[in-house]
Structure 1
Amino acid sequence: MKIEEIYQLYTKHFLVDTDTRTIRNHTLFFALKGDNFNGNNFTKEALKQGADYAIVDEESHSHEPNIILVDDVLETLQKLANHHRKVLNIPIIGLTGSNGKTTTKELINAVLKTKYKTTATKGNLNNHIGVPLTLLSMTPETEIGIVEMGANHKKEIEFLCTLCEPDFGYITNFGKAHLEGFGGIKGVIEAKSELYTYLKENGKIAFINPQDAVQVEKTINIKSISFNNNLQFLEVNPFVKLSLNSKSVQSNLIGKYNYTNIAAACTIGSYFKVSDTDIKDGIENYTPENNRSQIILKTVNKVILDAYNANPTSMKAALENFEAIKEENKTVILGDMFELGKTSIEEHQNIVDLVAQLHFNNCFFVGENFYQTKTKNNAYKTFEELLLHLKNNPLKQQSILIKGSRGMRLERLLEIIN
């Protein structure tokens, strides 16, 4: 069956699903394959639960009514998404970067949705499957799409751009993330800049932070829009406060590093003629969640939970910001940073050395990488060892920064912190 024919089936309800655990009535079920699963095996279940059609790529599963056999389910999903993007013909903002992608995407959406009907990437569904699903979640009512694009190897952003064909692009920054896959910071810059290459080759527009020398250099020959000149950083204690055309904006985001994320959202909002009042409302009504820079008040302690992800760049920024916050008693609990390749121990040691220079009451490190560093502070090889220590030696009257890579799942500490 041709993509155009599948598209006609899709447009009846504009629904696509890939997981029978969250199947919706009248959806198209795409039987994707992974290392540990084969969606073809769940085709009957998908139809039983309400899917109108199932797309499979194994002939043995194609002999039931309403089953469509294709050569490759994933490729079909991607082609369908790109076809839909072309039919919609709406402005698409493509977003990537080493740190702050998801927060910036949420902020942009919070600002733009005050005036437009927007559809943005849910969570961090930003890969070769997530981007097509984001595009296919857009309906004829969508006026602006916001697509987050992630990568841990070169050429991934290039490919994702061919799917979503962004009219605008923004790269949050170039940091020490996924160094193992990119082969170092130079590789990070090359990979993320694949978005710039697409924008240049297609005559599209880049939003840039003029304080980022790499962004300025890489966009010399590209149509670009710099951050709004009427934006001014005011303070962070602990939340970022700024002014927009002399209008005070109080965010719910901690850390000065979040100012550029807010500035990008304000700039994009201004470009799309969102009023200053609506931009202010959008920023002030956005509250981070899902373990991203959340402030959680416990019985006797205050926790800054930033346990969604971590790399050397974001870890350094979080620590320096935490030191600058006006609090009496400060404790840091840091978990391993992943995907750093050969530089892993060096980068973990750099963080340990930085912590030694800062002024915290207590410092705890957890994970095999931190455990191998030279530190006089409390280092624990496993999460369970740290958990036991904190149970037996509870923290009291502390402001606590918890940060680590997603795989460390440090949010589990909330259960024993009072």
Structure 2
Amino acid sequence: MTIPELHSLFLKSPNISTDTRTIGANCIFFALKGDNFNGNKYGAQALEKGAAYVILDEKEYATSNTFIVVDDVLQTLQELATYHRNYCEAKIIALTGSNGKTTTKELINVVLSKKYKTTATRGNLNNHIGVPLTLLTIKKDTEIAIVEMGANHLEEIAFLCKIAQPDFGYITNFGKAHLEGFGSQEGVIKAKSELYDYLIRNDKSIFMNADDSVQMAKLSGYIKKYGFSTEKQRFHKIEFFGADPFVKLKTEDSIISSQLVGSYNFTNSAAAVLIGKYFNVSLPDIKAAIESYVPENNRSQIIKKNSHKIILDAYNANPTSMEAALQNFDAMGNNPKVAFLGDMFELGKSAAQEHQYIADLVAKMNIEKVFLIGENFFEVKTAHQKFDSFEAISSYLEKESLPAKSHILIKGSRGMALERLLNLL
């Protein structure tokens, strides 16, 4: 079956599933394979649960004409997504970076949805499977789609650009993330800049943080760039107006008070303002959108529990985001401060050095109690308390209490699942 023929079926059954646990009626099930699973084996189960068709690549599992056999299920999903992207008329804004991708994507979406019919990446489905699935949520009347792109190795962003074919792009920053796959921060810059490379090669528009020296250098001489800056006059001026704990920004004599914790969310918010202005969303609508956005899913959430104010930022962590979170936390108020810091993953040979750097950094700050959790933090040299596992810190907290009315920061990589601390505080 050709991609145009498959697309005709998709238009009649416009829901895609790759997991039999989430089968919807009249959907198309793509039987993906991985290192530890084979979706072909679950095709019959998908039909029993209501799927209209099953796309598979192992003929022995095809027992009726509702099974469509292709050479490669994943490649077919990706090609269908590109075909559908071109079938629809939506403009695509691609978004990548080391930190802040998902928050920035959500902010851009709430701003643009004030004027346009939009769709955006759900959660952080931003890889070679998630990007096609996002593209396949675009409707014929969708005007703008915001597509998040993640990567942990070189050439991944370039590949995702071939699938999504973006009209616009924005890179949040170049931080110390996924160093295990990229090798160094220079590798991170090269990998994330693959979005720039695609857009420049195809004469597309780029949104940028003009205060970021790396972005300025990369885009020197490129005409179709639109930036924000706290001071450079030739770019859209957006000023940082404080963060204690919520970030505020000022543009055109209007102060926008977000519900996002920390100065590190300034650039995320500023990007949404810039892109809203580019697409002619009114400033009052931009302000209303950003001020109404409340983060969730363990991303810089403010939680009040007993007498404590907790900043839960446990969705993910890398050295750059950890340092930014700590600097912001150190500057907050006069209440007793307590930090629970969990291991940062995917740092490869830099892991020991980066964890020691964070331990040394936090030792210089005005934070009364610091608890370092995980195998990497357990190896650092520090006067602060260390725990090699979540179970160890759990046992400690069962016997000890924290100062009343504490400000508490919880931050670590996703694999540490430090949100579990909430039940112990």
TM-score, scaled to structure 2? 0.97
Q: Structure 2 regions of 5+ residues with no counterpart?
A: 229-234
Contact map agreement 2:95 2:105 (CA 8 A) in 1: yes
Contact map agreement 1:23 1:51 (CA 8 A) in 2: yes
Residue equivalent to 1:225: 226
Letter in 1 for 2:52: D
Residue equivalent to 1:378: 385
Structure 2 SS opposite 1:368: coil
Separation of aligned partners in 2, 1:269 and 1:262: 11
> Are 1:406 and 2:414 matched, yes or no?
yes
Separation of aligned partners in 1, 2:48 and 2:128: 28
CA drift of 1:277 comes to 0.7
Residue equivalent to 2:84: 84
CA drift of 1:179 comes to 0.4
Contact map agreement 1:174 1:192 (CA 8 A) in 2: yes
Letter in 2 for 1:408: M
Which has the higher mean CA deviation after the structures are superposed, 226-235 or 146-155?
226-235
CA drift of 1:245 comes to 1.3
> CA offsets per residue over residues 358-404 of structure 1, 9 Å max, x none?
01110000100000110111000111001110111022321110000
Contact map agreement 2:27 2:52 (CA 8 A) in 1: yes
Structure 1 SS opposite 2:367: coil
Letter in 1 for 2:346: E
Letter in 2 for 1:402: I
Contact map agreement 1:335 1:365 (CA 8 A) in 2: yes
Separation of aligned partners in 2, 1:234 and 1:58: 58
Which has the higher mean CA deviation after the structures are superposed, 237-246 or 221-230?
221-230
Contact map agreement 1:122 1:134 (CA 8 A) in 2: yes
Separation of aligned partners in 2, 1:88 and 1:394: 57
Separation of aligned partners in 2, 1:231 and 1:178: 30
Which has the higher mean CA deviation after the structures are superposed, 56-65 or 184-193?
56-65
Residue equivalent to 1:8: 8
Trace 1:56-135 onto structure 2 (pairs within 5 A): 56-135=56-135
Letter in 2 for 1:173: N
Letter in 2 for 1:162: K
Contact map agreement 1:301 1:395 (CA 8 A) in 2: no
Letter in 2 for 1:32: L
Residue equivalent to 1:178: 178
Separation of aligned partners in 2, 1:231 and 1:347: 32
Separation of aligned partners in 1, 2:318 and 2:238: 28
Structure 1 SS opposite 2:256: strand
CA drift of 1:343 comes to 0.8
Letter in 2 for 1:302: K
Trace 1:185-200 onto structure 2 (pairs within 5 A): 185-200=185-200
Cα root mean square deviation, aligned: 0.9
Structure 1 SS opposite 2:376: helix
Contact map agreement 2:89 2:141 (CA 8 A) in 1: no
CA drift of 1:221 comes to 3.7
Residue equivalent to 1:265: 272
Trace 1:354-373 onto structure 2 (pairs within 5 A): 354-373=361-380
Letter in 2 for 1:136: L
Separation of aligned partners in 2, 1:19 and 1:138: 20
Trace 1:229-268 onto structure 2 (pairs within 5 A): 229-268=236-275
CA drift of 1:15 comes to 1.1
Residue equivalent to 2:302: 295
CA drift of 1:231 comes to 2.0
Trace 1:334-345 onto structure 2 (pairs within 5 A): 334-345=341-352
> CA offsets per residue over residues 79-103 of structure 1, 9 Å max, x none?
0000001111321000000000000
Contact map agreement 1:300 1:396 (CA 8 A) in 2: no
Contact map agreement 1:200 1:221 (CA 8 A) in 2: no
Residue equivalent to 1:155: 155
Separation of aligned partners in 1, 2:88 and 2:217: 33
Percent identical: 57
Match for 2:338 among 328, 331, 337? 331
CA drift of 1:312 comes to 0.4
CA drift of 1:300 comes to 2.1
Match for 2:286 among 271, 279, 283? 279
> CA offsets per residue over residues 145-196 of structure 1, 9 Å max, x none?
0000000000000000000011100000000000010010000000000000
CA drift of 1:65 comes to 3.0
CA drift of 1:416 comes to 1.0
Structure 1 SS opposite 2:236: coil
TM-score, scaled to structure 1? 0.98
Structure 1 SS opposite 2:334: coil
Separation of aligned partners in 1, 2:220 and 2:205: 12
Which has the higher mean CA deviation after the structures are superposed, 151-160 or 139-148?
139-148
Structure 1 SS opposite 2:119: strand
Separation of aligned partners in 2, 1:323 and 1:287: 23
Letter in 1 for 2:64: E
CA drift of 1:232 comes to 1.8
